[in-house]
Amino acid sequence: MTSELLERALVEEATKKSGLIWVEAVPHTGAHPQVAPARALWHVWHEGAACVVGDGPGEQPLAGLTHGGEAVVTVRSKDKGGRIVTWPARVVELPPGSPEWEAAVAELKGKRLNAPDGEDMPERWRRECRVLRLEPRGATLPLPSDSQAAPPPPSPAVTRRPIPAALPRLLRRKRR
Protein backbone atom coordinates (compact mmCIF):
# COMPACT_ATOMS: atom_id res chain seq x y z
CA MET A 1 0.00 0.00 0.00
CA THR A 2 2.80 2.42 0.88
CA SER A 3 4.63 1.80 -2.42
CA GLU A 4 1.39 2.47 -4.33
CA LEU A 5 0.99 5.81 -2.55
CA LEU A 6 4.61 6.71 -3.23
CA GLU A 7 4.25 5.83 -6.92
CA ARG A 8 1.04 7.88 -7.13
CA ALA A 9 2.77 10.85 -5.48
CA LEU A 10 5.75 10.51 -7.86
CA VAL A 11 3.46 10.47 -10.91
CA GLU A 12 1.50 13.49 -9.70
CA GLU A 13 4.46 15.65 -8.63
CA ALA A 14 6.62 14.84 -11.66
CA THR A 15 3.76 15.46 -14.09
CA LYS A 16 2.72 18.72 -12.37
CA LYS A 17 6.24 20.13 -12.61
CA SER A 18 7.07 19.01 -16.14
CA GLY A 19 6.21 21.35 -18.98
CA LEU A 20 5.90 18.47 -21.47
CA ILE A 21 4.92 14.84 -21.29
CA TRP A 22 5.61 12.20 -23.92
CA VAL A 23 2.44 10.29 -24.75
CA GLU A 24 2.25 7.11 -26.80
CA ALA A 25 -1.11 5.58 -27.69
CA VAL A 26 -1.37 1.87 -26.99
CA PRO A 27 -2.85 0.24 -30.12
CA HIS A 28 -6.17 -1.53 -29.81
CA THR A 29 -6.10 -5.22 -30.54
CA GLY A 30 -7.91 -5.70 -33.80
CA ALA A 31 -7.51 -6.21 -37.51
CA HIS A 32 -5.84 -2.85 -38.20
CA PRO A 33 -4.10 -1.47 -35.13
CA GLN A 34 -3.04 2.15 -35.57
CA VAL A 35 0.32 2.81 -33.95
CA ALA A 36 1.31 6.44 -33.49
CA PRO A 37 4.78 7.38 -32.25
CA ALA A 38 5.16 9.01 -28.84
CA ARG A 39 4.47 12.74 -29.00
CA ALA A 40 5.50 15.58 -26.74
CA LEU A 41 2.36 17.29 -25.45
CA TRP A 42 1.90 20.33 -23.23
CA HIS A 43 -0.56 19.66 -20.49
CA VAL A 44 -1.93 20.67 -17.13
CA TRP A 45 -2.39 18.42 -14.09
CA HIS A 46 -5.99 18.76 -12.94
CA GLU A 47 -7.95 16.69 -10.42
CA GLY A 48 -5.71 13.64 -10.56
CA ALA A 49 -5.02 13.46 -14.30
CA ALA A 50 -3.03 15.11 -17.07
CA CYS A 51 -5.35 17.15 -19.30
CA VAL A 52 -4.44 17.97 -22.90
CA VAL A 53 -6.18 19.84 -25.70
CA GLY A 54 -5.59 19.39 -29.40
CA ASP A 55 -6.59 18.09 -32.84
CA GLY A 56 -7.85 21.49 -33.95
CA PRO A 57 -6.31 24.10 -36.24
CA GLY A 58 -3.18 25.50 -34.62
CA GLU A 59 -3.26 23.02 -31.74
CA GLN A 60 -1.16 19.97 -30.93
CA PRO A 61 -2.03 16.66 -32.64
CA LEU A 62 -3.48 13.93 -30.43
CA ALA A 63 -2.95 11.11 -32.96
CA GLY A 64 -3.99 7.69 -31.78
CA LEU A 65 -5.55 8.86 -28.49
CA THR A 66 -9.18 7.77 -28.40
CA HIS A 67 -11.85 7.78 -25.71
CA GLY A 68 -11.62 4.60 -23.66
CA GLY A 69 -8.20 3.80 -25.09
CA GLU A 70 -4.93 3.45 -23.28
CA ALA A 71 -1.66 5.33 -23.43
CA VAL A 72 1.80 5.29 -21.92
CA VAL A 73 2.99 8.61 -20.48
CA THR A 74 6.67 9.38 -19.91
CA VAL A 75 7.50 12.38 -17.75
CA ARG A 76 10.79 14.21 -18.01
CA SER A 77 12.58 16.40 -15.53
CA LYS A 78 11.96 20.09 -16.13
CA ASP A 79 15.51 21.11 -15.26
CA LYS A 80 17.65 18.22 -16.58
CA GLY A 81 15.35 16.84 -19.28
CA GLY A 82 15.89 13.19 -18.28
CA ARG A 83 13.09 10.68 -17.81
CA ILE A 84 11.69 10.51 -14.29
CA VAL A 85 8.72 8.17 -14.49
CA THR A 86 6.62 6.27 -17.01
CA TRP A 87 3.00 5.46 -16.21
CA PRO A 88 0.04 3.80 -17.95
CA ALA A 89 -3.02 5.95 -18.54
CA ARG A 90 -6.64 5.58 -19.49
CA VAL A 91 -7.80 8.13 -22.09
CA VAL A 92 -11.08 9.90 -21.36
CA GLU A 93 -12.49 12.47 -23.79
CA LEU A 94 -14.41 15.19 -21.99
CA PRO A 95 -17.70 16.18 -23.63
CA PRO A 96 -17.68 19.89 -24.58
CA GLY A 97 -19.69 21.99 -22.17
CA SER A 98 -19.73 19.43 -19.36
CA PRO A 99 -18.64 20.62 -15.89
CA GLU A 100 -15.49 18.49 -16.17
CA TRP A 101 -14.69 20.03 -19.58
CA GLU A 102 -15.24 23.57 -18.26
CA ALA A 103 -12.94 22.96 -15.26
CA ALA A 104 -10.19 21.41 -17.41
CA VAL A 105 -10.40 24.17 -20.01
CA ALA A 106 -10.15 26.85 -17.32
CA GLU A 107 -6.82 25.30 -16.25
CA LEU A 108 -5.59 24.69 -19.81
CA LYS A 109 -6.38 28.25 -20.88
CA GLY A 110 -3.87 29.62 -18.37
CA LYS A 111 -1.09 27.39 -19.73
CA ARG A 112 -1.70 27.93 -23.47
CA LEU A 113 1.06 30.09 -24.92
CA ASN A 114 0.73 32.31 -27.99
CA ALA A 115 -2.96 31.67 -28.58
CA PRO A 116 -4.16 33.51 -31.70
CA ASP A 117 -7.62 34.25 -30.27
CA GLY A 118 -7.02 35.07 -26.59
CA GLU A 119 -10.32 35.16 -24.68
CA ASP A 120 -12.21 33.37 -27.49
CA MET A 121 -9.96 30.32 -27.17
CA PRO A 122 -12.37 28.18 -25.06
CA GLU A 123 -15.15 28.69 -27.61
CA ARG A 124 -12.83 27.62 -30.43
CA TRP A 125 -11.79 24.58 -28.41
CA ARG A 126 -15.47 23.72 -27.90
CA ARG A 127 -16.10 23.84 -31.67
CA GLU A 128 -12.90 22.45 -33.16
CA CYS A 129 -10.77 20.58 -30.59
CA ARG A 130 -10.77 17.66 -28.23
CA VAL A 131 -9.97 17.86 -24.51
CA LEU A 132 -8.63 14.62 -23.07
CA ARG A 133 -7.87 13.43 -19.55
CA LEU A 134 -5.00 10.96 -19.19
CA GLU A 135 -5.87 9.20 -15.95
CA PRO A 136 -3.10 7.21 -14.25
CA ARG A 137 -3.93 3.56 -13.72
CA GLY A 138 -1.90 0.76 -12.25
CA ALA A 139 1.73 0.71 -11.24
CA THR A 140 4.47 2.77 -12.87
CA LEU A 141 6.39 1.12 -15.68
CA PRO A 142 10.14 0.48 -15.68
CA LEU A 143 12.17 3.13 -17.47
CA PRO A 144 13.72 1.93 -20.74
CA SER A 145 17.45 1.26 -20.72
CA ASP A 146 18.09 2.58 -24.26
CA SER A 147 17.80 6.16 -25.54
CA GLN A 148 14.61 5.46 -27.54
CA ALA A 149 15.78 7.95 -30.16
CA ALA A 150 14.02 7.45 -33.48
CA PRO A 151 15.22 8.54 -36.91
CA PRO A 152 13.41 11.62 -38.21
CA PRO A 153 10.55 10.94 -40.62
CA PRO A 154 11.28 11.38 -44.34
CA SER A 155 10.96 14.95 -45.54
CA PRO A 156 11.68 16.91 -48.71
CA ALA A 157 13.49 19.48 -46.53
CA VAL A 158 16.92 17.88 -46.88
CA THR A 159 20.20 19.68 -46.25
CA ARG A 160 22.60 16.90 -47.22
CA ARG A 161 23.94 18.03 -50.56
CA PRO A 162 27.51 18.37 -51.86
CA ILE A 163 29.11 21.66 -50.97
CA PRO A 164 29.65 24.02 -53.90
CA ALA A 165 33.11 23.73 -55.46
CA ALA A 166 33.85 27.42 -54.91
CA LEU A 167 33.04 27.38 -51.18
CA PRO A 168 36.55 26.52 -49.90
CA ARG A 169 38.01 29.42 -51.95
CA LEU A 170 35.37 31.82 -50.63
CA LEU A 171 36.04 30.78 -47.03
CA ARG A 172 39.81 31.24 -47.44
CA ARG A 173 39.22 34.71 -48.86
CA LYS A 174 37.18 35.73 -45.78
CA ARG A 175 39.97 34.74 -43.39
CA ARG A 176 42.40 37.20 -45.01
C-alpha 176/C-alpha 7 separation (Å) is 62
**Residue 78: pLDDT above 50?**
yes
**Residue 30: pLDDT above 70?**
no
Q: Residues 75, 15: contact at Cβ < 8 Å?
A: yes
Q: Residues 62, 52: contact at Cβ < 8 Å?
A: yes
**Residue 31: pLDDT above 60?**
no
Read off the pLDDT of each residue in 99-114 and give the average, rounded to a whole number. Answer: 92
Read off the pLDDT of each residue in 114-131 and give the average, rounded to a whole number. Answer: 89
When comparing pLDDT for 28 and 106, which is higher?
106
Burial 64-88 (b: 16+ CB within 10 A, else e): bbeeebbbbbbbbeeeeeeebbbbb
- Fold assignment, 2-153: Pnp Oxidase; Chain A (2.30.110)
Q: What percent of the chain has pLDDT over 70?
A: 93
